Amino acid sequence: MRNDRLITYRQTSSVKLKCRLNLADLYPTSTDKKAFKKRLDDFLESHPDNKDIYQLEGNRLNFESEQLIPNQPDKKDRLPLLLVFGNPASHSVKQGMFFSFEGNGKEHRFWKDIMKPSLILDLSQDLEMPIKKRNQSRKRRLLNLDYESPFRIGLCVFVSFPSGPSGPWSGIAGINKLFGAQAMKQLEPYERERVLKAAKQFLNNQGVVATFQKNAWEGLRGDQDPHFSVYLAKEGKLVGRLNGMPEIHLYGIPPTRLSGHCRRVLMEKMNGK
């Protein structure tokens, strides 16, 4: 681990990461810092939860992210499956659980349209249950391995910075807009290091990693593996080995917004694992 870290991560709960970004090193000139702070003001206004997640303290940007890696032994000795997404949704970080809800409190398509029908994992909930209780129940079951599945499931994101689910500052495109291409290039090795550290801890030299987004695939694939394209993902042709861990299979699954393709390829690749 490097001492001159641009960004640091600290797991403070079963799902929550506390992160700290050194803006002085990321933007060494006063002009760059001023331009970033102007973009940051606009970004924080773009979603009601952003101001609760991000805090600017001098040249430090503190923020929260998410990562759920169960650490208790699995009595069923299931194969570990690490699911790696793009970046968190701000409201899910605020709620303390991946894919907390979508729209006006609806069950997220990831749980009801992708995981359940693909036969990977059924953690769908009673929709009469309040959102907070739904998320707490799902989180508890994932951490306690209390579910029927061929796999032991872990969840993480490749880009740690949360953003809103819609609008000009949404998704990873919004994070790229906030920081700029050069800054994101500087941050990528730290993000990759964090995910690979979680993978080594969770997989223990056996298991599978599935990515659901371009940055995640590009950041984790081996040097000889194909570059990302949505077409290859839809065709189930993004197949490789985890960077630095060639014993671990890596699959590029279509983005969750393409729920039909995502479900089909996930089911195809995980069948028989």
pLDDT digits (tens, 9 = 90+) for 64-73: 999 999 998 8
pLDDT at position 106 is 83
Number of H helices, E strands in the chain: 11, 9
H/E segment holding residue 210: strand 208-211
- Whole-number average pLDDT of the chain: 94
**pLDDT tens for each residue of 146-175:** 999 999 999 999 999 999 999 999 999 999
pLDDT recorded at residue 2: 40
pLDDT reported for residue 102: 84
d(Cα 231, Cα 228) in Å, to the nearest integer? 9
107: Cβ contacts below 8 Å, ≥ 6 apart:
101, 124, 125, 127, 134
Mean pLDDT to the nearest integer, 208-229: 97
Helix, strand or coil for residue 9? strand
Is the predicted pLDDT of residue 1 greater than 70, yes or no?
Answer: no
For residue 81, list its beta bridge partners: 153, 208
Banded model confidence at residue 104, pLDDT cuts 50, 70, 90: confident
Give the mean model confidence (pLDDT) for residues 22-49.
96
Least confident interval from 95-104, 221-230, 246-255? 95-104
Give mean pLDDT, residues 19-47.
97
Distance of CA 36 to the CA centre of its chain: 24
| DSSP per-residue string spanning 25-83 | HHS-SHHHHHHHHHHHHHHHHTSTTHHHHEEEETTEEEEEEEEE---S--TT-PEEEEE
Token pair, residue 17, equals 């990461």
Q: What stretch(es) of the chain map to CATH 3.40.470.10? A: 67-270
Q: Mean pLDDT across the stretch 73-83?
A: 94
pLDDT value, residue 123: 85
- Give the pLDDT score at 122: 86
Place of tokens 């890596």: 250
CATH superfamily for domain 67-270: Uracil-DNA glycosylase-like domain (3.40.470.10)
Q: What is the pTM of this model?
A: 0.95
> How does residue 107 score in pLDDT terms, banded at 50, 70 and 90?
confident
Cα 111 from Cα 103, distance rounded (Å): 14
pLDDT at 118 over 60: yes
The dihedral of CA 137, 143, 148, 151: what is its sign?
positive
CA distance 234 to 258: 9
Q: What is the pLDDT of residue 272?
A: 65
- Taking residues 205-232, report their average pLDDT: 96
